[in-house]
Amino acid sequence: MPHFPSEMATPDPVERVPVTEPSDGIPPIGQKVRIEEVAALAGVSPITVSRALRNPAIVSEARRKRIEEVVTKTGYASNPHASALKSGRSNLVAAFLSNITSQQYTAAAEGCAKVLEEAGYHLVIARTSYSYARETTLIRALMTMRPAAAFITGVMELEENRIFLRNLKVPIVESWAYASDPIDMLVGFSNTDGVQLVVDHLAEKGYRKVGFVGRSSGRGTIRLNAFLKGAEAAGIEIKATLTVANVQGIADGRQALRSMLAASPDMDAVFCANDLLGIGAMLEARAMGLNIPGDLAIVGFGDSEVAAEVPPGMTTVVVDAHAIGEKAGEMLLARLTGQKIERPSCLFPVRLEVRGSS
Amino acid sequence: MPHFPSEMATPDPVERVPVTEPSDGIPPIGQKVRIEEVAALAGVSPITVSRALRNPAIVSEARRKRIEEVVTKTGYASNPHASALKSGRSNLVAAFLSNITSQQYTAAAEGCAKVLEEAGYHLVIARTSYSYARETTLIRALMTMRPAAAFITGVMELEENRIFLRNLKVPIVESWAYASDPIDMLVGFSNTDGVQLVVDHLAEKGYRKVGFVGRSSGRGTIRLNAFLKGAEAAGIEIKATLTVANVQGIADGRQALRSMLAASPDMDAVFCANDLLGIGAMLEARAMGLNIPGDLAIVGFGDSEVAAEVPPGMTTVVVDAHAIGEKAGEMLLARLTGQKIERPSCLFPVRLEVRGSS
DNA sequence: TTGTAAGCGTTATCAG
DNA sequence: CTGATAACGCTTACAA
């Protein structure tokens, strides 16, 4: 239970940094300047200031310089709401993450935000994956902000929302899967191929009685189906499949492994459709005294930070989430700056990182 | 290297959900209605619609009902930019995270976003911790959006920015430390007390030759200093301290442990100022064949998901990041709805979760 | 290349 | 409790 300060808690000596640096570049802070004043000081009209700021090339060298000086001196920053109101487009970019605490998605958001921020855009992050109704409400709410673009970590499933987003005519990047008909653009990888790498690897190593743990919706289904199909073709017997509803934590992985082994003690390998499940499975297997990979091989999907670190190292399909986010940011930016995108889809190749667990 | 689609990649069969549900509540999507039209349809003036939406109590029952009907029917959503332009305040809340990929901070952001979204606010997340110059630029940029409030995962250090934020007169919650003079409000815990719990625990268990791994800036300093001071008082000898600059990953923890053990092989315990470092240290210690806690005890700070799972379980100071975020959201909301906050600081008690590693 | 005029959609203000 | 009026600060459209 939180409480209010009392003599019971010791204050932390927080270090404060006084303003020491000479104001080298950083404009004075805390003012409220309008474009009109900048214009007056620079001896031009407001619209010229506006142009100098958003499209310097079309303003004469001399005036541009003068304007820039005044902007720096006054610390002018344009009011994004006024700008958005008039132009119908803001400097916000909407990011829809199905899970805001997922390392993978936040890594992607981080990459995307970094690229966009350099161009003056800001990411508004929203969490979607609770229910379709909530997702719909959320998209509507965010889109009233007239974001300049949108980034979706995943593929929008609800047709109604796809249509809505498409109609907005803003650049949109979906991601994380190789969907054939993106709303607009796509930065993804083939889950199907990633899973196939796993199947091939397991087959080659001689594993024949395998289990599957994964989520039961969205991409979870893709990975499950790809696995079932691939395993059949490779002559691998599926001893057990276990899908967890919406969670993907380490604890779920532990639990899943325990259940599956109870039902099918003779499994020789388990494929976990994401790394956290895989790590849970590895920890549980070791706790049960199993030898990895001797008694049981374990393979994950996603290459989270821990995968390489959990002994003996978890074999996993590598997905560079940060790079996906960066690429998404670049594609959005290209569109926003009027460049033609010749290919609306960018695919990252999938790769299996083989480690000690298989 | 990303590439563009070719025959090499297999498309994923992405499941699409058609619009089947009857439009129960969810208004039709994709329209562009203005307040004027709603007013006309309801037979009132635009300002009455505005009032009915933002302060229903001051509009007569009859008109309010009529307006609500029209709003539902038309799917009207007010333009937040026009609103923000006129009123000088938006429905955005700025969140400054020093690290957007930290589980702890995103968990807090998640909690905060959840609370705020129920009241119609949206979190704009920005990453601050690169340099003071960047932080300053970022704050300026975000604040031009006239956010209704701000949430900071940490305590703002730069005095210049503190003053700027305070002058904006919007509700602000700092967090994650017990600072004595917050900009506005605070939801935190005493790092000093948390570290003291660790010191007491180590002393009680008989560890006398300990090492410290942590970050060298911000809260890192607080934890380091508290540890040095506490250890001295408890008669514990500090064999080694190692601070890493800005990273806090598992790999850093491994590296740090190796360096420290090389320099001081007789350490009997290590305190890691965050869990990821601690987990790295544990994995490395085990890889080196050390027995935990027999040869070496390890204690972390933060209670990340993995702490409990890495065998034999890592002792750590528990910080409920999600709850901190929720509480922050509630305090901001209270202020935004005009409630008086009697106490500007809310502290969460600290607790040591003792597990197998010590 | 620059400027003028007008208005984006809402809400503050003040009068009824 | 309701309405008329006038902005909020910027950028589009058009003219020079």
Say which CATH superfamily domain A83-189+321-350 falls into. Response regulator (3.40.50.2300)
CA B192 to chain CA centroid, Å, is 20
* Per-residue pLDDT band at B21 (split at 50, 70, 90): low
> What is the distance between the alpha carbons of residues B277 and B302, in angstroms, rounded to a whole number?
11
pLDDT at B22 over 90: no
Please name the residues in contact with A265: beta carbons below 8 A apart, sequence gap of 6 or more. Answer: none
Lowest mean pLDDT of A275-279, A298-302, B166-170, B224-228, name the range.
B166-170
pLDDT of residue B9: 87
> What is the distance between the alpha carbons of residues B223 and B245, in angstroms, rounded to a whole number?
14
> What is the distance between the alpha carbons of residues B188 and A4, in angstroms, rounded to a whole number?
10
pLDDT of residue A21: 53
pLDDT of residue A217: 76
**pLDDT greater at residue B246 or residue A347:** A347
Of A80, A117, A157, the CB nearest to B144: A80
Beta bridge pairs of residue B210: B238, B269
Of B90, B133, B249, the CB nearest to A26: B133
Write the CA distances from B131 to B134, B143, B255, B273, B344, integer angstroms. Answer: 5, 18, 25, 22, 28
> What is the distance between the alpha carbons of residues A189 and A219, in angstroms, rounded to a whole number?
12
Q: Which CATH architecture has domain B191-318?
A: 3-Layer(aba) Sandwich (3.40)
> What is the distance between the alpha carbons of residues A34 and A76, in angstroms, rounded to a whole number?
7
Write the CA distances from B51 to A197, B27, B56, B65, integer angstroms. Answer: 60, 21, 6, 13
> What is the distance between the alpha carbons of residues A198 and A302, in angstroms, rounded to a whole number?
12
**pLDDT greater at residue B354 or residue B89:** B354
* B50 CB neighbours strand C below 7 A: yes
pLDDT of residue A342: 79
pLDDT at A162 over 50: yes
* Per-residue pLDDT band at A24 (split at 50, 70, 90): very low
* Per-residue pLDDT band at B131 (split at 50, 70, 90): confident
> What is the distance between the alpha carbons of residues B194 and B183, in angstroms, rounded to a whole number?
23
pLDDT at B25 over 50: no
Mutation for testing the B interface, residue in A81, A199, A303 having most B CBs under 10 Å = A81
Beta bridge pairs of residue A173: A151, A185
- Do A127 and B113 meet the contact criterion of CB atoms below 8 Å apart? yes
Write the CA distances from B127 to A183, B43, B97, B98, B142, integer angstroms. Answer: 29, 47, 5, 5, 11
What letter does residue A27 receive in the DSSP assignment? Answer: P
pLDDT of residue B20: 58
- Do A176 and A328 meet the contact criterion of CB atoms below 8 Å apart? no
Please name the residues in contact with B306: beta carbons below 8 A apart, sequence gap of 6 or more. Answer: A250, A279, A306, B275, B279
CA B99 to chain CA centroid, Å, is 9
Lowest mean pLDDT of A137-151, B65-79, B241-255, name the range.
B241-255
* Per-residue pLDDT band at A15 (split at 50, 70, 90): confident
A212 to chain B nearest CA, in Å? 18
pLDDT at B23 over 50: no
Task: Tell me the per-residue pLDDT of A310-323, one tens digit each, with 9 for 90 and over.
Answer: 889 999 999 999 99
Write the CA distances from B310 to A126, A250, A355, B307, integer angstroms. Answer: 31, 10, 19, 6
Of A177, A187, A286, the CB nearest to B14: A177
pLDDT of residue A22: 47
* A145 CB neighbours strand C below 7 A: no
> Closest residue of A to B6, CA-based?
A347
B215 to chain A nearest CA, in Å? 14
pLDDT of residue B261: 95
Task: Show which residues sit with Cβ under 7 A of nucleic chain D.
Answer: A 32, 34-36, 46-47, 50, 53-54, 76, 78-79, 82-83, 85-87; B 44-48, 51, 57-60, 62-63, 82, 85-86
Q: Which of A131, A180, A123 is nearest to A149 (CA)?
A: A123
What's the token pair of residue B248? Answer: 């806090």
Type of residue numbered A106 = T
pLDDT of residue A100: 82
pLDDT of residue A292: 95
What's chain A's length in residues? 358
B177 to chain A nearest CA, in Å? 6
In chain B, what's the furthest Cα-to-Cα distance? 83
pLDDT of residue B26: 46
Write the CA distances from A18 to A251, B157, B159, B223, B323, integer angstroms. Answer: 45, 8, 5, 21, 32
* Per-residue pLDDT band at B7 (split at 50, 70, 90): low
What letter does residue A294 receive in the DSSP assignment? Answer: T
Mutation for testing the B interface, residue in A72, A93, A101, A217 having most B CBs under 10 Å = A101
Q: Where are the domains of chain B?
A: 35-74, 83-189+321-350, 191-318
Report percent pLDDT > 70 for chain A. Answer: 94
What's the token pair of residue B64? Answer: 């309010």
Type of residue numbered A220 = G
* Per-residue pLDDT band at A132 (split at 50, 70, 90): confident
A90 to chain B nearest CA, in Å? 9
User: b/e map of B236-249 (b: 16 or more CB within 10 Å)?
Assistant: bebbbbbebeeebb
Sign of CA dihedral A116, A118, A121, A122: positive
Domains B83-189+321-350 and B191-318 agree in fold: yes
* Per-residue pLDDT band at B216 (split at 50, 70, 90): confident
In which element (H, E) is residue A122 found?
A: strand A122-127
Provide the CA A123 to C1' C14 distance, Å, integer: 40
pLDDT of residue A25: 47
Report percent pLDDT > 70 for chain B. Answer: 94
End-to-end CA distance of chain A: 45
Beta bridge pairs of residue A185: A173
pLDDT, mean of residues B299-311 = 90
Residue whose tokens read 């040095």: B228
pLDDT at A233 over 60: yes
Q: Which residues of A touch B140 (CB under 8 A)?
A: 27, 29, 75, 77
Lowest mean pLDDT of A52-66, A202-216, B240-254, name the range.
B240-254
Residue-averaged pLDDT of chain A: 90
Question: Is A10 within 8 Å of B178 when comparing Cβ atoms?
Answer: yes
Question: Is A9 within 8 Å of B190 when comparing Cβ atoms?
Answer: yes
Q: Which of B105, B80, B98 is nearest to B90 (CA)?
A: B80
Please name the residues in contact with B329: beta carbons below 8 A apart, sequence gap of 6 or more. Answer: B111, B112, B113, B114, B115, B116, B151
Rounded to the nearest 10 degrees, the angle between the axes of helix B61-74 and helix B35-42 is 130
Question: Is A190 within 8 Å of B9 when comparing Cβ atoms?
Answer: yes
pLDDT of residue A23: 46
> What is the distance between the alpha carbons of residues A190 and A195, in angstroms, rounded to a whole number?
9
pLDDT of residue A169: 87
pLDDT, mean of residues B219-239 = 91
User: b/e map of A147-185 (b: 16 or more CB within 10 Å)?
Assistant: bbbbbbbbbbbbebbbebbeebebbbbbbbbbbeebbbb
Ranges A333-342, B7-16, B283-292, most confident: B283-292
Task: Tell me the per-residue pLDDT of A25-64, one tens digit each, with 9 for 90 and over.
Answer: 444 444 579 999 999 999 999 999 999 999 999 999 999 9
pLDDT at A113 over 50: yes
What's the token pair of residue B76? Answer: 């009207």
Q: What is the DSSP string of A324-344?
A: HHHHHHHHHHHHHTT---S-S
CA A20 to chain CA centroid, Å, is 38
> Closest residue of B to A157, CA-based?
B16
What letter does residue A211 receive in the DSSP assignment? Answer: E
